[in-house]
Amino acid sequence: MRKLADASLAGDVDKITETYVRQMANQSAAMAPVKDSYLRNSIMASPQQESKGVWTYGSNLPYAQRQEYEHRSHKGFIRKSVWRNRGAYREAVKKRVKKAGG
């Protein structure tokens, strides 16, 4: 029973994480500079699962990092969405863990 509960908790945390990462990726893509749509599309397509409960997103384009820190009007398009969602994500995970009696 314990193993079953642990698996269910891990699965739920993974789902919560995926939901927030996809949401952050969509928001980042919407805030990214648009010269062509390569940067935006690369962010939209980027969310991927590294392991259970661990998801990443970003861009594989060589200029993405520089734009993130130095674009005149759109800098911080990745960090802003992380900052915006960080608190709510932590609360959602905390709520699920509490429900499991953690």
Partner 1 sequence: MQHEITASLIDHLRAKTGMNVVWVFDGVKLPVVKPFITVEQMPSSESVVSKMRDAARSIYRFQVGLHTQSMTERTRKQDEIKRIFVFDTFDLLDTTQIPAPVIGSFCVDLTGITPISPESVSDTTNYHKVYFDIEIDVNYYG
Chain residues in the site for partner 1 (CB under 8 A)? 63, 65-66, 69-70, 76, 79-80, 83-84, 87
Residue 69 CB, shortest distance to partner 1, in Å, is 5
Q: 84 or 96, CB closer to partner 1?
A: 84
CB-based contacts of 100: which residues, under 8 Å, 6+ apart? 5, 8, 9
Our CB check for partner 1 shows the closer of 82 and 93 to be 82
> CB neighbours (10 Å) of residue 38?
14
Q: Which is nearer to partner 1, 25 or 64 (CB)?
A: 64
